Amino acid sequence: MKDGLFITFEGADGCGKTTQITLLNEYFNKAGKKTLLTREPGAGILGAKIRELLLNYDGEVSPNCESFLFLADRAQHVEGMIKPALEEGTIVLCDRYTDSTLAYQGYGRELDMERIKYLNNLATSGLKPDLTIVFDVDIETSLSRVGGSKDRMESAGVDFFNRVRRGYLEIAKQEPDRVKIIDSSDTIENVHRKVIELVENL
């Protein structure tokens, strides 16, 4: 049983979600609410080591190995940080969660979706967000925001990112109550306003 609120931020690299999660965190803090602002991969000490492996390793990584590393990071994150925070009534804002694995490893790397759903469920003990916001922007804009120095995931190519983007839109169609899409080609202020509207509706 959880008392807090669990909100996840999703979208392709360079979609602007990190700016928006910071703004929402400030919004809650100004209202006197306790929050945990966290991210995947890479929260906690073990998470930071897994993140380093995932993003900076320059050898071949099989899609299955990549998936298991993201899932291992998630399992530790849920047990060690997210669940305890929710149990004490904190609002948890998480930059990427299970839908990233569905979009990137499922749609992007074209792994079996049902298997990823099963593994996500195993890694999280079934913990689902109350609200997931997908920040949608065309691939040209998102890759130009990422800029010149790309990590291993960001170097995956335009076709990969088009599949990831389509994947997120598909996920939102499948779970319309939980997953909401915001067009993030709009200004930072307008996108923030839309985020607040979604959160106030919760």
Is the separation of the CB atoms in 137 and 15 below 8 Å?
Answer: yes
Number of helical (H) and strand (E) elements in the chain, helices listed first = 9, 5
Any residues with CB less than 8 A from the CB of 59 and at least 6 apart, and which? none
Looking at the Cβ atoms of 34 and 166, the one nearer to ligand TYD is 166
Of 57-65, 97-105, 110-118, 182-190, the segment contacting ligand TYD by CB under 6 A is: 97-105
Q: Minimal CA–CA distance to 82: which of 44, 29, 31? A: 44
Q: Is residue 41 a contact point for ligand TYD (CB under 6 A)?
A: yes
Q: Is residue 76 a contact point for ligand TYD (CB under 6 A)?
A: no
Looking at the Cβ atoms of 35 and 101, the one nearer to ligand TYD is 101
Looking at the Cβ atoms of 4 and 41, the one nearer to ligand TYD is 41
Give the integer Cα–Cα distance in Å for 202 and 200.
Answer: 5
Q: Is residue 22 a contact point for ligand TYD (CB under 6 A)?
A: no
C-alpha separations of 111 from 44, 102, 135 in Å: 28, 9, 23
Binding mask 148-167 for ligand TYD (x = CB under 6 A): -----xx-------------
Give the integer Cα–Cα distance in Å for 120 and 114.
Answer: 10
Q: Is residue 100 a contact point for ligand TYD (CB under 6 A)?
A: yes
Q: Is residue 104 a contact point for ligand TYD (CB under 6 A)?
A: yes
Q: Is residue 13 a contact point for ligand TYD (CB under 6 A)?
A: yes
Look-up of token digits 């910071």: 22
Quote the least distance from Cβ 18 to ligand TYD, whole Å. Answer: 5
Of 29-37, 78-86, 101-109, 110-118, the segment contacting ligand TYD by CB under 6 A is: 101-109
Give the integer Cα–Cα distance in Å for 119 and 32.
Answer: 36
Binding site for ligand TYD (CB under 6 A): 13, 18, 40-41, 55, 70, 95-96, 100-101, 104-105, 153-154
